Structure 1
């Protein structure tokens, strides 16, 4: 898996991301290292055929690729990149529309996942109930300061990136943790 973050600019490739299930499949494959359509179906509650269809579509646009270790009809998939960047900046109208659709599907998926996981948080051991949560802050920053802050957060998270591809580096009590970090800016007052 490449460690760079490609900026997706092809409208067709962006439209391939305009489906929450595809974001979920990307997360499953990325988290597991490799996953088959059967494994994805088990986790998503979708049919194997539906997961296979969406994985093949993601492969068409180079988000996933077949991994080694196929057994019969079961094809394992792996993520091509560690992360994906979807931005409408500098794109024509068709590309910008596709980027907004992909971003909307991503937000739908992530926010739904956050909501579902918080509703079942009471089922987790005490140490996990206190470790996870939702935080927010409203600060006055310049655009440059926001970019700097985002870069610092990525550096912090990169400290743990090798654990994804090398399970031997994971502490015994480590679990897959999603960090959803969003920055937005309030509209300019009139």
Structure 2
């Protein structure tokens, strides 16, 4: 599972944030998010493997991987011999904030967020179409729902932290395959909260 929030989670350490507008603009492309998700889920992949998994050309995958590498999001796996070198994620979480940054960085962050959402919604729609093909136990476990509650900002922060803490109990399985129980599959969570505009 890859955690890719568009903005900071409660308790985020400031030094973890992406502050370079050029780096944020490198994330302003839905296909690059698809590559980030692929490397995070399947581990190191060559451009050819990425092309097979995504349906894009090898040249396109190579171009986008090199762009992500330029800004430190991915890197070639060291010590691998051969013409086709696999790429790996440098970090498993991309975080930034619109608070306390200049206009250029804020706009770049918005563009990166839009690209992330475009990728995420496409992934949700695709998974929803395939749901009927899943075994009964997975069809029953998968969820797509929305609800409205009246909360204070502090209550919303507390709920978000609690949800993330629950999901975080399983984070050790990301890099340690031996920690994954039989039948475990990559499950993507998208946590999004919105608030209605204030009215007088």
Range into which the TM-score falls when normalised by the shorter chain: over 0.9
Return the offset for 1:33: 2.3
Cα deviation digits, residues 27-66 of structure 1 (max 9, x gap) = 0011122222111111110011111111111111111122
Aligned residue number for residue 35 of structure 1: 45
Aligned residue number for residue 71 of structure 2: 61
Return the offset for 1:129: 0.7
Q: TM-score, normalised by structure 2?
A: 0.88
- How many equivalent residue pairs? 188
- Mark the runs of 5 or more structure 2 residues left unpaired by the alignment: 4-11
Cα deviation digits, residues 58-81 of structure 1 (max 9, x gap) = 111111122246341222122122
For residues 60-99 of structure 1, the aligned pairs below 5 Å read 60-68=70-78, 70-99=80-109
- The 10-residue stretch of structure 1 (102-111 or 62-71) with the greater mean CA deviation from structure 2: 62-71
Q: Which stretches of structure 1, 4 residues or more, deviate above 3 A after TM superposition?
A: none
Contact preservation (8 Å) 1:63, 1:80: yes
- Structure of higher RCO (CA pairs closer than 8 Å, 6+ residues apart): 2
Contact preservation (8 Å) 1:86, 1:103: no
Indicate which of 38, 47, 56 corresponds to 1:46: 56
- Whole-angstrom CA distance in 2 between matches of 1:67 and 1:162: 21
Contact preservation (8 Å) 1:36, 1:77: yes
Indicate which of 18, 27, 49 corresponds to 1:17: 27
Aligned residue number for residue 126 of structure 2: 116
- Whole-angstrom CA distance in 2 between matches of 1:82 and 1:98: 20
Indicate which of 173, 180, 190 corresponds to 2:190: 180
- The 10-residue stretch of structure 1 (126-135 or 153-162) with the greater mean CA deviation from structure 2: 153-162
Cα RMSD for the two superposed structures: 1.7
SS in 1 for 2:88: strand
- The 10-residue stretch of structure 1 (15-24 or 41-50) with the greater mean CA deviation from structure 2: 41-50
Contact preservation (8 Å) 1:11, 1:94: yes
- Mark the runs of 5 or more structure 1 residues left unpaired by the alignment: none
